[in-house]
Structure 1
Amino acid sequence: MLILSYIFSVIYWLYFGFLLVVFHVIQIICQYIGGYELRKKSVDLLNFLLLYGLVIVGVRIKFVGFENLPQDCPLIITSNHQSTFDIPPIVWGFRKHHPKFVSKKELGKGIPSISYNLRHSGSALIDRKNPRQAMMEIARLGQHIEKENYSASIFPEGTRSKSGTLKKFQHAGIAALVKKAPSAKVVPLVIDGNSTLTKHGDFPLNFGTKLTFTALPAIDPQEKDVKKIASEVENLIKHNLNQA
């Protein structure tokens, strides 16, 4: 199986790099011709291809609960963080909700397609060494999703858990989003399998991994303590991952 992982990982990463370069150009053209809406369609397609292209390494993909997402309000997508492969299923699964990301500022430059999208989509690029700047960016994102009825994706662990074991959730980012997007609902998202996919690192990808992305019932955060909401979401995700 490890031999298959090496062979097909080479093919997938060539495919991955090709898509990023090609869609970088496509995004620029779409932005120029049709603005945000047309560029977003190109980003949705890119992430669909990145995600389902993982069949090259024998991956099986399942989405659960997305048919029950609220349709009439902004969403605060609150999920565990296992690898860089967490992003495509969020973009694709929540595509009707225009997901924006809370991301470290370093990702805002130097990466074809990804950096361009982060800079032009309204996502929050935060300096993790500057808490004030980070909170201001997250607050700006909260205002943006409230105004446009979009969604914001945040990883309260703060960094990836390579083992898949859930880390302690921090509540500050969720609180800033809730404050600036008072009509938003919090959607716990369970990412299961991406840590197994990358258990050897980014190369080779683990052949035959099963990936499951589960959107749990939305939580109305109004008149609730945000620390308790963060703890509730953490416990729900732990339970779903059988880590409780």
Structure 2
Amino acid sequence: MVAPPETAPPDNDVLWARSLHYSHSGSPGLVGVSVGVRQGEILALTGPRGSGKTTLLRCLSGQLRPEQGEVWFNSVPVHTMGALARERLRRDRFGWIGPEPQLLPELKVWENAALPLLLAGASHRSAKHAACEWLERLDIGAFARKRPGALNRAECQRVALARALVNEPAVIFGDEPTAPLHRAERALLLRTLTTAARSHGITVVLATHDEETAAVADRRVPLLDGRPAATAPAAPEPPGPPAAETTEGQAACSLSA
């Protein structure tokens, strides 16, 4: 039996994490991070590379189990789930889009987009219909029967977004999803993602260092060195210039650190 957290997850938080710690080969990736994400909210995890954004995203999505701390999805403890249960959760309730499309080259475009539904046991016909609908919304319906090798990088990224949206998940996680795109393609991807999220009540958590991508969010959580930016240790200030010598009739200058 799982012991309840000291503080219960808020009812309107679809995702809730407390005091997450995770390290990569002994180097801290997350240090005591807590975050809550409301139903239908678009949240941006911001910060420079190496700040812990991707690690936090992977802990929230069940890809990683935190070494310490708790992750809850709709009041279900993700941090105590076994690997198979977390895999099913990601397949059935979550969508994911990263900086690389990671399409299967042997499958047609519509099959790549429909993959979450096909893996969940949906009929071939219904999965194809749903996938083609999203491909049309992303202006790549004409490529449905082609292989990914016939598409350029930006088109493949749109297929990856269609795959993330096809089963209308509760949460979509985006790890630098616009990183490989130029401005026009970035705008199209973000517009489709945010419109779908608003119309279907999908919660979105984005990890990004791109200001235009972060600007679509309702709220931001800045990270630095694996901690919320407000609690990260401040960098030491450089030493100030030596105090100027005082002369007769001049008040001495007082330099504060």
| TM-score calculated relative to the size of structure 2 | 0.25
Q: Give the structure with higher Rg (CA).
A: 2
Higher helix proportion: 1
| TM-score calculated relative to the size of structure 1 | 0.26
